[in-house]
Amino acid sequence: MSCRRSRGVARVLYRVFVLSAVPHPATKQRPSLPRSLPKSQPWSLTTRPFSCTVVRHAKTRAPEQRTHKWDSEITARRIYLVDPTTGRLDGIDPETGEGEPTIHNRRSTMSSVDTKTHRLVQMSPDEPDNHNFIPVCKIVSKKDDYEREKAKKKQAKEQKKVQAISSDKAMKTVELNWAIDKNDLGHRLGKVRGFLEEGRRVEVVLASKKQGRKASK
């Protein structure tokens, strides 16, 4: 036991007198943080209900369907040209109808056309199997062509409206009952008159007399 005690005393004396006198290497100190840090707002997770929204695209016009070729769409090198004043082929006498139609070069004709106001239109369809085919063309005013198409569409719309009115689906039914008052009767008769003026078919239904209902005067 005395040996163990002597070793313990020696260790204590070594730590106190020897280690305290030996210089220790400098230790790196960590930078001190401020006691109070600015509090940042925590990220908040918000949930939204899923919604499927249909994306609406701008209305676009239907592709124009044409039966005639225009300008650069015409592939023939040689063309017959319609005289805009007589309506006959160039080279044909407007009074007698005699003569030979003049053959024009398509490129030369196109160079003389103001494409801002006019266009070259091929009036006759192509004939792929005919190597000697020369199409009939006409210089058309864009403004006049637009007005013609506008009038044509308006006429077709009016015709469609007339057909809808004259069809069975356009039949109107007006019901009259036993106890209808004078004002209501006049209103319904006015509707009947209006339908007849539009050319519609009108069916007048007379409702059966119910008990307890008196006829209006």
Tell me the pLDDT tens digit for each residue of 7-50: 666 676 666 665 555 555 555 556 555 555 445 454 444 555 55
> b/e map of 148-179 (b: 16 or more CB within 10 Å)?
eeeeeeeeeeeeeeeeeeeeeebeeeeeebee
pTM over 0.85: no
Give the model's pLDDT for residue 35.
Answer: 56
Give the model's pLDDT for residue 93.
Answer: 85
Residues paired with residue 89 on neighbouring β-strands, in sequence order: 82
User: What percent of the chain is predicted at pLDDT more than 90?
Assistant: 18
Give the model's pLDDT for residue 137.
Answer: 93
Bigger pLDDT: 166 or 138?
A: 138
Tokens coding 192:
């009947």
Give the model's pLDDT for residue 105.
Answer: 93
Query: pLDDT tens across 107-126, in order?
Result: 999 999 898 999 999 998 88
91 pLDDT more than 60: yes
Tokens coding 97:
């109808």
Enumerate long-range contacts of 202-205, CB under 8 Å, 24 or more apart: 202/171, 202/172, 202/173, 202/174, 203/171, 203/172, 203/173, 203/174, 204/173, 204/174, 204/175, 204/176, 205/173, 205/174, 205/175, 205/176
Give the chain's domains with CATH numbers. 69-146 (3.10.20), 167-217 (no CATH)
**For range 146-167, the mean pLDDT:** 83
Give the distance between the most distant pair of CA atoms in the chain: 155
Query: Which DSSP string corresponds to 167-182?
Result: SGGG-EEEEE-TT--H
Give the model's pLDDT for residue 209.
Answer: 62
One-letter amino acid at 78 equals R
In the block, tokens 């006429």 appear at: 155
3 pLDDT more than 70: no
Query: pLDDT tens across 53-86, in order?
Result: 555 555 666 556 677 888 889 989 999 999 888 8
Q: Rounded distance, CA 59 to CA 189, Å?
A: 42
Name 127's Cβ contacts closer than 8 Å, sequence gap at least 6. 133
Q: What DSSP designation does 83 have?
A: -
> Cα 53 from chain centroid?
17
> How much is the mean pLDDT over the chain?
75
